[in-house]
Structure formats: C-alpha cells, structure tokens
Amino acid sequence: MPIKQSQLRIAHFTDSFYPKIDGIVTFLDNFIGYFSKIGYKIAVFCPTYKNEKEKYFGRNVKIFRLKSLSLRAYKEVKISMAMPKTILSQLREFKPDIIHIHTPGPIGILGIMASGRLNVPLIGTYHTMVSEQTGYLFPGNMLWLNKLASGVYRMFNREKCRKIKNGGILKNIIWGASLKIYKKCDVIIAPSQSIARLLKRSLNHRISYVCCGIDLKKFRPKNKYSTAKKLSFLCVGRLSFEKNTDIIIKAFHILDKKGYSDFSLSIVGGGPAKSRLENMAKMYGLESKVHFIGELQGYELRGIYKKSDVFVTASAMETLGMAILEALASGIPVIAVRKYAVPDIVKDGVNGYLADPYDPASFSEAIIKIIRNKSKIPRFGKNGARGLRSLELGASMRKLETVYISALSSKNSK
C-alpha cells in the first residue's frame, strides 16, 4: 500500500521543549509549523516546566507533558519521571508512523523503548554535543555544591578549572554513551556536514545530513548599515557554563584595556550563569557597556538582530548554531569559534571571523579586526545572508520528509 505523505503521524520525544528557548525547541517549533499545515499529525512527548502556560500549536498537534524534576543547580535540565505504560497507551491511541527522538536523555530513551515495543521506525537527530556539557555532570553541580565550585573557580586559574570540568575522560564516557543510545535509531540525522562526518567516523550506521533550516521569511537581511563610530555587538544564547559567554566578556575587557572603548554588547538569554556573568561585567567595569536583555522571541528577537552591527558567540559545542543562522540571515557578520559545525557556516574573512575556542585573546583579536575594518560589515552581512539560501527551512523540511518516507518504506519491506 503506497504511503500518503500528508497522512503521516510523527511522534517526537524530547527532553527540551517550550517554554524553554534553545536550538532544539526552535527546530521543533519550525517543524510543527511546517508539517502541521500540510496535514501531518504530530505528537510531542516532553517535560513539564514550572508555571508553564501551554502553547496552542493547532488541531493537528498533541502535546504530552511527562512529569519531570529539575537539577537543583541547572533548573532547565529536566529528569522525566514518566511511566512507560502510560506513554505506550498514549502512543497506541495516536498510532505513529515514525518516532523521532531529539535528545539522549530520559525522554529520548523512552522514545527508543516505545519504538521497539510498537515496531515503528526510529529517527534520531544529533542536535547537541552532549560530551561538551560535562559542566552539568561536574560533582559540584550534581550535589548542589555549585557555590563552592564557583568559589574555587574564582580563587584559582579559571581556564584550568574549565579544562577540569571539560576533562577528556568524562567527555569520552559521555560521547560513547550518546553513540550507544543513537545506534538504536534506524537513521541518525546530523544537522551539519561536520557532525555527519564526525558521526560517520565513529559509527557504522546510516547517517543523513539534514540541516534544521532557517525561516528566511521571518529572518530577513537588514537594508541599512550603521555608519556610527560606536559598534553594537550582540550575543544570543543560553547563559550557562557550556556556552562560554564569559569568554566574550573577557574579550571585551581586553579591548577596553587596549583603548577600544567605542562598543556596546547586548547579551540576550537566560540561564544559571546569568548572575555570575553580570558580576563579571561589573568587576571589569563594563556595566555601562554590557547589557543583559533577558530572553527574547518573535518580533523582539528579530528586531535586536536588525539593530546590531556584529553577532558574537564563544560556544564551542555547536552542531549547527541556530542563533548563528539567525544572525547571518539578518545580514550581520558573525564572530565565532573555529570548532565543530561553526566553520561550515561562518567563513573567515567572508561573512565574519573565527577565533580559537576558550581563548579571550583570540576573540579580542577577531573583534579588533571587525572594528578596524568597519567598511567590510555591509559586504560580510550580505555574504552571510546570501550563503543561507541552501539552508532555507522549506528545503530542509522536504529533505527530512524524504528520510521519513525512506525509513518507513524500509521498515515495511522487511
């Protein structure tokens, strides 16, 4: 019997969802918006959040909240307490054609279990380099001794502490564990070519490169570029240790000491590191230049991209980087790290500059380059927006659809 694409029923399992804001949530929001409009039936199994107000995604979408607890030091990290029998009952009623997992956490693992029980094809997107999130698993954080850990971090060399937290042994253990989880999938989706190559070197498995895509109808390049002497920089992302926003603040401190004082930095986002980052900005005397905006979405987020001259991020764990895509689509140059998927989309000297991971001095040098070459900002911005045409949301969703159809056809032929 031929597969009718418009009648497909997809069940998503994710340990991160609305109202949280991150790359996975942005992808799922885009997915739901695109596929629900063409008739897909969609179910999302996701955590509960304190005081959440459920968003209405449309009549083709069902949201199943699984009771979850938060890590004390990282309230945004959720541990599901759901009963497998309840989930299986809900899935049997929904009758999914495909189960798609987005995280290797408790809810993602429940999706793997459900796929095996129901004999449904399993797709997994490797959204996050979980091996770069060892800060979550650092004993001081797990035992809620994060204040003590922060004290030690301040007393001694911060970069040495960062290396301890992101130590090789723990990284290798987490990397290996995540690969074992994703090996259960019929198809693993890599959101960038760099991550696809990395997974192929580690797994003898079917790996498909499918970019998460960027909605170019929402994020459009700016028409006018500022000619003011003072440059406005923007950083958007979750404010946690793993995103390395402290590197950005340190880089601007170096700039300030060198006499490059005509700048402002807007930091958009929330998270467990926010208060420490605010204190760092005050300690360096940058409180009048570094502004913490909080979380923004929709028109407000798109507006602040348009108002900014340069986007900057020090995150060294990106499998794609949705905020980077949004910045490039908005027509602003990007300064980012030379690691994982970032060089796939940020081309040094073409649409921005690359810096060495965890290195404030390297970032300060990249920022000085853009300050000294302000005249290149419009060209960099236009290059960035032009280079995203192949990553347009509709094209990415259609490619993902072919992965679903292929996986379902393979399952049915067995």
Distances (CA, A) of 185 to 46, 157, 407: 19, 42, 10
pTM of the shown model: 0.88
Contacts of 71 (CB under 8 A, 6+ apart): 77, 79, 136, 141, 142
Burial profile 340-361: b = 16 or more Cβ within 10 angstroms, e = fewer: bbbebbbbeeebbbbbebbbbe
Indicate the CATH number for domain 5-213+392-413. Answer: 3.40.50.2000
Angle at 250 between CA 249 and CA 251, to 5 degrees: 90
DSSP string across 295-347: ---HHHHHHHHHH-SEEE---S-BSS-HHHHHHHHTT--EEEESSTTHHHH--
Domain ranges of the chain: 5-213+392-413, 231-391
**CATH superfamily of domain region 231-391:** Glycogen Phosphorylase B; (3.40.50.2000)
Q: What is the pLDDT of residue 76?
A: 66
385: nearest Cα among 339, 332, 313, 318: 332
| Residue 385, SS3 per DSSP | helix
Domain 231-391 in the same topology as domain 5-213+392-413: yes
Q: What is the pLDDT of residue 144?
A: 42
Instruction: Tell me the pLDDT of the chain (414 aa) as tens digits.
Output: 445 555 799 999 999 999 888 889 999 999 999 999 999 999 999 999 887 788 899 999 999 999 988 766 566 677 888 889 999 999 999 999 999 999 999 999 999 999 999 999 999 999 988 777 655 544 444 444 444 444 444 444 445 445 444 457 778 888 889 999 999 999 999 999 999 999 999 998 899 999 999 999 999 999 999 988 899 999 999 898 889 999 999 999 999 999 998 899 999 999 889 999 999 999 999 999 999 999 999 999 999 999 999 999 999 999 999 999 999 999 999 999 999 999 999 999 999 999 999 999 999 999 999 999 999 999 999 999 999 988 999 999 999 999 999 999 987 776
Q: What is the pLDDT of residue 79?
A: 81
* Dihedral over alpha carbons 410, 411, 413, 414 (to 10 degrees): 120
Residue with tokens 């090996």: 183
DSSP symbol at 82:
-
Q: What is the pLDDT of residue 167?
A: 53
